Each structure stands twice: as C-alpha cells, then as structure tokens.
Structure 1
C-alpha cells in the first residue's frame, strides 16, 4: 500500500532456467511487497538470480533491504536491472556502485 493507503499494483513472477531464476517485477516494492519479492527470487535449487526491476515505480528501504539479502544469498551471481527510479534510490543509498547492478 502506498502512503495514502491505496492498494498498489505489484507483481513478481519468476521463471527458472537451469539454476537461475529470472524475476520480473512491476509496480511498487515496499514494506507490503518486499517479502513477496524475496520469496519469488529464492526458489529451491537456484544458485543465481536476475531481477528485472525496469517496470518498478516505487522502491523504499524495505526493498533495498531485500536486495541486500538477495546479494548475500546469491554472492557473485545476482544481476539487477533497475528502472530509473530504482537506480536513483540505490545511488542515494550508496549502493549505486554494487557489482550486481547493471544498466537498465
């Protein structure tokens, strides 16, 4: 839910190929949706993940925490494709230089 208490659009769909999960995320990633993102990104048997966040419209501290958890879960094998908003939030938070962050 956003600041005004309205329901938000959010989806996170995962597709597994070999040992990599590719998760496509749309809408707002916040306190209400960050755990769903994490769970979708960590199916059993995967050792690598790609997060396509190019359609994410809102990204807060809970979302940042989820990315940090995923980077710990997938050391050296996480790839994040950010939207402009996600990139800005990560830059401001000091995470803009992470090796897992790619150009969107």
Structure 2
C-alpha cells in the first residue's frame, strides 16, 4: 500500500488486487498533486486500474491531464469512479462519455 501526501488536503493510496491497482484519492487534485495521483496509479506490474475519486473535492485541468495519461497507460482497462465535483468538471470538459467513466 502506498500513500503520498502532497499537501494537507490530498491523499492517494494504492492497493493491488488480482492484477488491478485500486487507487483511492481524496481532497484536491490540482497542479501540485495531479502528478502524485498519476504516479500512484501508473504501475508497470498490473494490467488494469480503478481510480476511486469519490472523496475528491476539487479537480482542475492538471488533474484532467493526469487522468487522460492514465487512460493511455491503461488502454481499455481503466475505471474511474467520480465524485459529483469530478463528474461536473468532466462534463464541462466534454469527457463525460468516456468509456472509463463509471457511476
């Protein structure tokens, strides 16, 4: 299990289960924390990833960029579980119909 804390309002914790990394992110994902979210999720020892963003309260363009990089890293094998705030940002940015976006 990994946990990195870029600031007081952000955590990203990873657990590997049956070839899938499950990353739980909380707090604000912005230009100071997006790379940490990406590095926590982008692993070479698994084939799939779930990004649980239910506890994310802020998501900016740097976070969107990191999310798109994860979609490239796990083609067809990424699942994103958004908070209402994240879903709204993805709707505004035109990404709400991506196959990796669930719930």
TM-score for both structures, normalised by structure 2: 0.91
Instruction: Spell out structure 1 runs of 4+ moving beyond 6 A.
Output: none
Larger Rg: 1 or 2?
Answer: 1
For structure 1, which runs of at least 5 residues remain unmatched after alignment?
1-6
Between 7-16 and 86-95, report the one with greater CA deviation: 7-16
Partner of 2:3: none
| Cα separation, 2, equivalents of 1:8 and 1:88 | 24
| Structure 2 residue 95 is the aligned partner of structure 1 residue 101 | no
TM-superposed CA distance for 1:18, in Å, is: 2.4
TM-score for both structures, normalised by structure 1: 0.90
| Cα separation, 2, equivalents of 1:17 and 1:43 | 13
Partner of 2:44: 44
SS in 2 for 1:88: helix
Partner of 1:61: 61
TM-superposed CA distance for 1:47, in Å, is: 1.2
Q: Give the total of aligned pairs.
A: 97
| Root mean square deviation of aligned Cα | 0.9
For structure 2, which runs of at least 5 residues remain unmatched after alignment?
1-6
| Cα separation, 1, equivalents of 2:8 and 2:101 | 25
